[in-house]
Structure 1
C-alpha cells in the first residue's frame, strides 16, 4: 500500500488488508468480494472434519453480532438469512393491502420486485434517488432504496430520506449491500436494513442480514419461520407448537452452515477495522481514478468507492478486461470498485487500460 494511504489506516485496517493476497487488478468488489485468507482456512478445515452443528451455530451467532456492529444496531435487532430478496419479500408480505411503496428509480431489482409482485393492491411508485426525499407523500407507507446505488455508485442522502419518511408517517427499508464494508453505516436511521455480505464484506454468498426496529417488527409476520426461528431452536424442530423468539431472531432462516463458517472471520475483521479509514482509502483511490481519466463527479455527489460511466457498447469494459482487470458492466455503464485490497497501482493499471 502506498505510504500516503497507509498513514491514514489504523492497525486494524492494516491487518484487514493483510487478509487479502491477490487483490491487484481486482476492481469488482461491487460484484463479489475476494475471499480472505482466514475465510479460506475456515472452510477448508471444515471439509476435513465431521459436521458439528454446535460449531456451525456458534459461527452463525458470532456473525450476527459482527453484523450488528457493522450495521450500527443492537444484535437483538438482527435476523440472519441468505438473500436480500427473501427479506424484502418478508416485508412485502406484511404490508397492508393497498399500500404504496416508493422506490428509487433504477434500483437493484432484489429490493423492488418483491413489492411489485406482492399483489393485494400494493403499488410501487419510483422517483430519482436525488428527489426521493421530496417524493415521499402522505400516502406512502414504505420508502425503499439502497444507501449506495449498485449500477452507478451514487451515495444516497440516507438521513434526509429517513427524515422525510418520518415526517409523513412512512417507514424506510435501506439496502446497504453496496455500502457495508467500505463506509460507516448508521442503521438506526432506518426502520429496516438489509445486507448481503458477499460483496464488500467479502463473505461467501448465502450470508445476509435484516436489521429491523422493534416497532416495525411487531407488524411483520414470520412467514419463513423454521426451527432456527424458535426461542429455543433445539426445542423447535418438530410440530407447529414452537414458541418463536421474541426479538428479530423470529425472522431467522436456518443458516447455510459452511457459508457462515467462512463469513464469521470476514465479518469479524471488518467489524474490528476502522471503517472511516477504509472509506478514506477507497474514496481517495476512486477520486484519483476520476481525476486521471477526467471523469469528475457531480459537484453535489458524496464520495463513493464506486466509479461508473456510460459504456453502452461495452468498449471500455472490454479494454479493462483485456488488460487483466476485473471490472463490471451494469445498466449500460462500466463500473469499477476500489476496496481495501486495492492501491494506487490499480488506479494506474485501470487508467492505462483506457488509454489515460
Structure 2
C-alpha cells in the first residue's frame, strides 16, 4: 500500500518555519543517517554504484518509466545541453516567457543557428508551429508556481511533429508526473524530492535517444562500467545509461532513502495535501486561486519587504523575479500557514 502524506511527513524532523522547498528541500532523518554512516565508512565504488542504481530505479518508479529509460546526472542544465547539442542546425526551440534559465540558456548558446522563441505560458500549446523543432518547458514554473497544461502542450506538439522536453524539477515529489508523455524529461532531486544537491535525472524515449550523441560519455556510460575505465574502445550501454555521468557518490547516498520514500508515496494524495495548504494560505492572504492547483504561493514583493518580515519572524521563504515565494511541502502544516498570515498582518 502506498504511503500516506502522514507517513511521509513522519520521515522528516519538525520543519516549522521552512517554506522554501522550491529552493531546496530538507533532508529526511534517513538521509541524514545515510550520509553520516557513509562518512564513517571506507569509500567503496562498488557499493556506491549499487546505490546509484537503486536511485535510478526509484526515480523510474516515481515517473512511471523503465529504469532503462533513465540517465543519471548532476545538474539539469548539463542534461539539457546534451539535448541541445543533438538538435539539427537551425532548430527552433519554443519556451515560455520567464522560463528558468537552466532550461533556456543551453539552447540560446548552442550556436549552429539554433534559435529560441518565447511566448506566455498559457499560450504555449497554441503557439506551437510546424517549423518548430522542440518545445521546452517546466511543468511547474519556478518564478510563479504556475502549472503548465502539459496535456495540451504534448497534444499540440505531436500534431505538428515537434519534440517535447519537460523540466519536472518543481513537480516531482508533490504531483503525479508521467515522464513517458514527453520525448525527454529532466529533474533535479534537491528540491521537492529532498535529496542532496548533485543528483539529477534524464528520461528519454527510445526514439528520441537514437538521435542523441553521448557527447559526455565517460567510464560510467559503458555497458560494464568496470570494464570501461581505460581506453577508447569501450562499448557504451544500449540503454539511456549511455548518457550517464559518473554519480556524485555522497550525494546519491543521501538521495537513496529520499527517492525511495517518495517512490513509495501516493502522489495524488501528496498533491491534494500540499495544494490544500497553499489554497488555505492564499485565502488568508486574499490572493486569487490559480487555474491549476499548485503548492507554490507567490505575490508581488519587488522591494523584498514581505520576505524580510517573514525572515525576521523565523519563516524561511524565497524571493524570485520580484515575487515573494512560499512553497508548502509535505513537511509543512497549518501552523506554517498561520505563522505566515500572522506575520504579514492577515
The answer, yes or no, to whether TM exceeds 0.5 is: yes
Distance 1:314 1:14 in 2: 34
1:294 partnered with 2:294: no
Answer with 69-78 or 214-223: which moved more: 69-78
Q: Which residue of 2 aligns with 1:203?
A: 195
- How far the C-alpha of 1:12 sits from its partner, in A, is 4.3
Matched, 1:177 2:177: no
SS where residue 314 of structure 2 aligns?
A: coil
Q: In structure 1, what is the Cα distance between the partners aligned to 2:275 and 2:47?
A: 37
Give the match's secondary structure for 1:87: helix
Q: Are 1:216 and 2:208 matched, yes or no?
A: yes
Q: In the alignment, is the contact (CA less than 8 A) between 2:168 and 2:187 conserved in 1?
A: yes
1:247-287 deviations in Å (ceiling 9; x for gaps): 10000000000000000000000000111111111000000
Partner Cα distance (2:39, 2:5) in 1: 29
Say yes or no: does 1:332 pair with 2:322: yes
Does residue 256 of structure 1 match 2:275?
no
Alignment counterpart, residue 134 of structure 1, candidates 94, 118, 126: 126
Q: Kindly indicate whether residue 83 of structure 2 is the aligned counterpart of residue 91 of structure 1.
A: yes
RMSD: 1.0
SS in 1 for 2:274: helix
Normalised to the residue count of structure 2, the TM-score between the two structures is 0.99
Counterpart residue number, 1:355: 345
Which residue pairs with 2:293 in the alignment? 303
Quote the Cα distance in structure 1 between the aligned partners of 2:7 and 2:40. Answer: 27
Q: Distance in 2 between matches of 1:106 and 1:335?
A: 15
Instruction: Provide the residue aligned with 1:61 in structure 2.
Output: 53
Asked if residue 269 in structure 1 is aligned to residue 236 in structure 2, the reply is no
Query: Is the contact made by 1:10 and 1:277 (CA closer than 8 Å) also made in structure 2?
Result: no
1:122 and 2:114 are equivalent in the alignment? yes
What is the distance in 1 between the residues matched to 2:233 and 2:7? 47
Give the deviation of 1:350 after TM superposition.
Answer: 0.5
Q: Which of 36, 40, 51 is equivalent to 2:43?
A: 51
Match of 2:133, SS?
A: strand
SS of corresponding position for 2:255 = helix
1:187-209: per-residue Cα shift (whole Å, max 9, x none)?
11110000000000000000000
Identify the residue that residue 243 of structure 1 maps to in structure 2: 235
> Where does 1:9-20 land on structure 2 (aligned, <5 Å)?
11-20=3-12
The residue aligned with 1:102 is: 94
Describe the shift of the 1:254–1:288 C-alpha distance in structure 2 as closer, same or farther (beyond 3 A): same
TM-score by length of 1: 0.96
Does the CA-based 8 Å contact 1:12-1:272 persist in structure 2?
Answer: no
SS at match of 1:188: helix
How big is the shift at 1:14? Answer: 2.3
Which 10-residue stretch deviates more, 277-286 or 18-27?
A: 18-27
State whether structure 2 residue 21 is matched by structure 1 residue 29: yes
Shift in Å at residue 94 of structure 1?
0.3
Is 1:81 aligned to 2:104, yes or no? no
